[in-house]
Amino acid sequence: MNNVEIIYDIANLNDIPELVRLRILYMIDDFGSITDEEREGKENQLPGYFERELF
C-alpha cells in the first residue's frame, strides 16, 4: 500500500495565479464548461478578491 503524505501550507500573494487557475478548473468541473467571456471575467476579478479576502 502506498503511503501518501499531504502537506498543508498557507497561501500567500505569490499563490494567487494558481488559486485563480484552480477556481476556474473547479467551475469547469462543476458547470461542465464556461465561456471564454466567463473565464476572462474570472481571470480579471479573482486576483482582487483573493487579495482582499484572503490576505
For residue 21, what is the DSSP state? H
State pTM to two decimals: 0.80
pLDDT computed for residue 54 by the predictor: 84
Going by C-alpha positions, the residue among 2, 6, 12 that lies closest to residue 51 is: 12
- pLDDT tens digits for the chain (55 residues)? 688 999 999 999 999 999 999 999 999 999 999 999 999 999 999 999 999 998 7
pLDDT computed for residue 33 by the predictor: 93
Q: Any idea where the domains of the chain sit in the sequence?
A: 13-54
- The span from the CA of 28 to the CA of 5, in Å, is 28
Going by C-alpha positions, the residue among 43, 37, 44 that lies closest to residue 25 is: 43
